[in-house]
Amino acid sequence: QVQLVESGGGLVQPGGSLRLSCAASGFTFSNYTMSWYRQAPGKERDLVATITSTKSTNYADSMKGRFTISRDNAKNTVYLQMNSLKPEDTAIYYCKAAFARVYWGRGTQVTVSS
């Protein structure tokens, strides 16, 4: 059974940091391109960052320099390190796996507020 389980979300003050994790199971993780998306209330789900099977990365412009995506194939886990968080980063953050098929996690809430 395929599972993507996000964790690490929470409430953080502006300027703070969080590290999200997405633990994968049920498929060959190392073959898959992994991505983080986010969806704020009333808005569409947008791409945050992507890391390929060869660990090439890509970021949405507003995240460059603040967010870092990484993966540990031995642990079947992808991470998103988020620094210098802003209130506009508040959203549900989703993990996505894409290769032969596309899988989504259920998301983790990130709230940036003082």
Render pLDDT for 55-82 as a digit per residue (tens, 0 to 9): 999 999 988 899 999 999 999 999 999 9
Confidence of residue 90 (pLDDT cuts 50, 70, 90): very high
Mean pLDDT of 17-30: 97
Residue 85, pLDDT above cutoff 90: yes
pLDDT of 8 above 90: yes
Q: Residue 64 has what pLDDT?
A: 87
Q: What is the pLDDT of residue 29?
A: 97
CA distances (Å), origin 103, targets 3, 22, 50, 63, 83: 8, 12, 14, 23, 26
Residues 6+ away with beta carbon under 8 Å from 60: 46, 47, 48, 49
